[in-house]
Structure 1
Amino acid sequence: MITSYAQNFEDVILWRALKSVKHGFYIDIGAQDPVEDSVSLSFYEQGWRGVHVEPSTLYAAKIRAARPDEEVIEAAIGLDTGLLTFYEFSGTGLSTGDAAIARRHAKAGFEMKERAVPLVSLENLLDRHAEKDIHWLKVDVEGMEAGVIKSWGSSKVRPWIVVVESTFPLSTKKSHEGWQSYLGKLGYKFVYFDGLNRFYVSEEHPELKVSFGPGPNIFDEFAFPVSSNSGLLAPMRQRLEAIEEKKAEVQKRLEAANAEVTSLNAKLVTLESDIHNFEAARIAEKAAANRLHEAVTSLERHAQREAEEWRVQAKRYRDQLEEVYRSRSWRLTWPYRAIGHAVKSGRTVARAAAISVILLPRRAAAGVFSRMIRLVLTRPALKRRAIASLHTYPAILGHLQAFARSRGIIATQAIEHNPGAMNMAVSTSDPPVAGVFMGVIPERVSKRISSRSKRILEMLETRRKEYQ
């Protein structure tokens, strides 16, 4: 299968007749673009090579760029030699050396440029390749076909097939009358007209005639190029355009979706980072909580150990205290503690003295009395309070004076010359003192009281009853 690039399927008709030829040769006069409407490109793709004649500088340069392994002649073909005034209509395929045709194109609004180009005869061109078979020759020179064919001259070279554009430019009017007879004299037979071109076969290759007749069809097994501008492809191009529009819309949606995916990916990365940070923080918090739990557990164990130690120590202390309470020395020293407590709590000196006499052993009580009397005599405020307490107890006062004298605390002469020594004058008033000594002596120690102490208590009890 070949790809047809030609304007009117000229390449399909030529390939049908010449497809058995391998690496053939061609001459394309008026070649124009190397791709668009090119008759030679499908052959070039099949390995053929040839010569291109193109007076347009633009198209000649394009052919050279596209086909560097082919010959490009930038000139015009005609009867004369020298230079030809060439009328160029850039990008249209209407460029020509015919002044009348050029004026019509210019009048129609096409932009025209004039320039001089070399003029070469077809005879000269053919003779330059006389040593090889020229399988086809195409002439498309916009109204200059007669001049090209007549410049064949006396050359003996006969291309197998000659294709000539045979209508006037931009018209369906036939133009072959001026040159077809000349081809006939050269030994060519007309075999096919495609509406634009006439095909001629050399009498040297009559076997090729059978390839002409029907136009291009499905059996020619050809395809259109993507760049084809053929009107036959208009519906297909419209469909392709619609597909392209839809493709562009889909592409636009795809780009939007990709942008959204990119945005979501960025958010996902941020979310993953947040999750990672949160997980790291959670792990750190868990580790801190574990450390705190371990510390609390350690403190609890330490507190339990300390509490247990304190309980053991407290029990030891309680046991020791109970052992002290049960000891003989504690029971024997109870009177001293009671006297000290009475003095500290502000009780009267008389009551403290009574407790000392009653509860202490005789010798111990004498020492206590001595210290108490000396203490009272050296402290005026305490002395006044003691005298106030003893005014109502003259007997006790007398005993205390006698005791003080026996101990040398006060002198005897002082008492005789000053009966109020120690300021212990007895008042005539006797306020009630009932119950002063009641309840002082515990029953458990009453059996150990001396006879003197008992007499003092009996005297105190008598006085108490007198005031009741």
Structure 2
Amino acid sequence: MTGHRDQWFGGRTYAQHGDDLAVLNIFKRLGIERPSYLDVGAYHPFDLSNTALLYERGSRGINVEPNEAQHALFLRARPDDINLCVGVAPVSGRLTFHHVAADPGRFTFDVATATTLGITRSLELPVMTLNEIVAHHAGGVWPDLLSIDIEGMDADVLRTADFGADPPKAVIVEADCGSGDNSHDLAATMHAKGFALHSWCGSNMIFVRAADQALVWGV
């Protein structure tokens, strides 16, 4: 059943595991009606998107997708967002981006992950750090939500990010992209940055700022 009158956020979810509904609940608890976002490894403007529902509800943000064909979809479907066709890595520069035999959502800069999936094509692309994206495209202010799904490089990219004094209020990160479970590494990295695990949604971990735990959980 969808569209029931008492559904706070409606009967639709675009995310793979309902992550978008969990995030909307977090921001409702925080009193933020239209959270901004940085969606890294955004893949598609609606399909399996953690931010599409937020966009439909009036939020705006930044989508980062290095696959040109997928990036073009964002330009058409999410014109009010900032849509970047670059990769994200621990250090800026250029890296080899691997197309694989699986669907485009599995394309990756991580050669180990790509090898297990079967590399079909590789090309060199520019990459930026998370901090460079925030500095150049968000005025140096971290968006409310950081969603990151970059097929094997998630922990390395988060580890090198400097969140400063005002980090994102929530972070969604893929803990298992099919090449192995890195949830312990992610939990340790986020704990060191002042975040606590809020919940799991399928293969994704959702973190909130430790300072907001009581408000988010109502304890």
Q: How does 1:87-98 map to 2 (within 5 A)?
A: 87-89=98-100, 91-98=103-110
Match of 1:100 among 91, 104, 112: 112
Deviations 1:33-75 (A, max 9, x none): 1111111111111100000011111111111111111111111
- Check 1:69–1:203 CA distance in 2 against 1; reply closer, same or farther (3 A cut): same
Q: Which runs of 4+ in 1 moved over 6 A?
A: none
- Check 1:132–1:124 CA distance in 2 against 1; reply closer, same or farther (3 A cut): closer
Match of 1:11 among 11, 15, 20: 20
Whether contact under 8 Å (1:87, 1:115) holds in the other structure is: yes
Report the 3-state secondary structure (helix = DSSP H, G, I; strand = E; otherwise coil) of the residue aligned with 1:38. Answer: coil
Whether contact under 8 Å (1:127, 1:155) holds in the other structure is: no
Whether contact under 8 Å (2:89, 2:157) holds in the other structure is: yes
* Distance (Å, rounded) in 2 between the aligned partners of 1:52 and 1:208: 28
Higher fraction of helix: 1
The one of the two structures with greater contact order (alpha-carbon pairs below 8 A, sep at least 6) is 2
* Distance (Å, rounded) in 1 between the aligned partners of 2:157 and 2:61: 18
Match of 1:144 among 143, 147, 153: 153
Match of 1:162 among 164, 171, 193: 171
Report the 3-state secondary structure (helix = DSSP H, G, I; strand = E; otherwise coil) of the residue aligned with 1:189. Answer: strand
* Distance (Å, rounded) in 2 between the aligned partners of 1:146 and 1:54: 18
* Distance (Å, rounded) in 1 between the aligned partners of 2:163 and 2:79: 31
Higher fraction of strand: 2
* Match status 1:180 vs 2:180: no
Whether contact under 8 Å (1:123, 1:151) holds in the other structure is: no
Whether contact under 8 Å (1:34, 1:62) holds in the other structure is: yes
* Match status 1:21 vs 2:32: yes
Letter in 1 for 2:46: V
Which of the two has higher C-alpha Rg?
1
- How many pairs align? 206
Letter in 2 for 1:120: M
* Match status 1:115 vs 2:127: no
- Check 1:181–1:163 CA distance in 2 against 1; reply closer, same or farther (3 A cut): same
Whether contact under 8 Å (1:127, 1:157) holds in the other structure is: no
Q: Give aligned-pair identity as a percent.
A: 25
Whether contact under 8 Å (2:175, 2:186) holds in the other structure is: no
- In structure 2, the residue matched to 1:85 is 96
* Distance (Å, rounded) in 2 between the aligned partners of 1:153 and 1:46: 29
Q: How does 1:299-318 map to 2 (within 5 A)?
A: none
Match of 2:81 among 59, 70, 89: 70
Offset of 1:174 from its aligned partner?
Answer: 2.0
* Distance (Å, rounded) in 1 between the aligned partners of 2:170 and 2:163: 18
* Match status 1:198 vs 2:205: yes
- In structure 2, the residue matched to 1:448 is none
- In structure 2, the residue matched to 1:52 is 63
* Distance (Å, rounded) in 2 between the aligned partners of 1:127 and 1:208: 29
Letter in 2 for 1:127: A
Q: TM-score, normalised by structure 2?
A: 0.85
Offset of 1:130 from its aligned partner?
Answer: 5.4
Q: TM-score, normalised by structure 1?
A: 0.41
Offset of 1:137 from its aligned partner?
Answer: 0.6
RMSD: 2.2
- In structure 2, the residue matched to 1:126 is 134
Offset of 1:136 from its aligned partner?
Answer: 1.0
* Distance (Å, rounded) in 1 between the aligned partners of 2:205 and 2:165: 22
- In structure 2, the residue matched to 1:189 is 196
Q: How does 1:266-277 map to 2 (within 5 A)?
A: none
Offset of 1:180 from its aligned partner?
Answer: 2.6
Deviations 1:231-252 (A, max 9, x none): xxxxxxxxxxxxxxxxxxxxxx
Whether contact under 8 Å (1:17, 1:208) holds in the other structure is: no
Report the 3-state secondary structure (helix = DSSP H, G, I; strand = E; otherwise coil) of the residue aligned with 1:59. Answer: helix
Q: How does 1:61-460 map to 2 (within 5 A)?
A: 61-89=72-100, 91-106=103-118, 112-128=120-136, 129=138, 132=141, 134-153=143-162, 155-167=164-176, 169-170=177-178, 173-210=180-217
- In structure 1, the residue matched to 2:6 is none
* Distance (Å, rounded) in 2 between the aligned partners of 1:51 and 1:23: 14
- Check 1:8–1:112 CA distance in 2 against 1; reply closer, same or farther (3 A cut): same
Whether contact under 8 Å (2:142, 2:163) holds in the other structure is: no
Segments of 5+ residues of structure 1 without an aligned counterpart are 212-468
Segments of 5+ residues of structure 2 without an aligned counterpart are 1-8
* Distance (Å, rounded) in 2 between the aligned partners of 1:91 and 1:193: 24
Report the 3-state secondary structure (helix = DSSP H, G, I; strand = E; otherwise coil) of the residue aligned with 1:22. Answer: coil
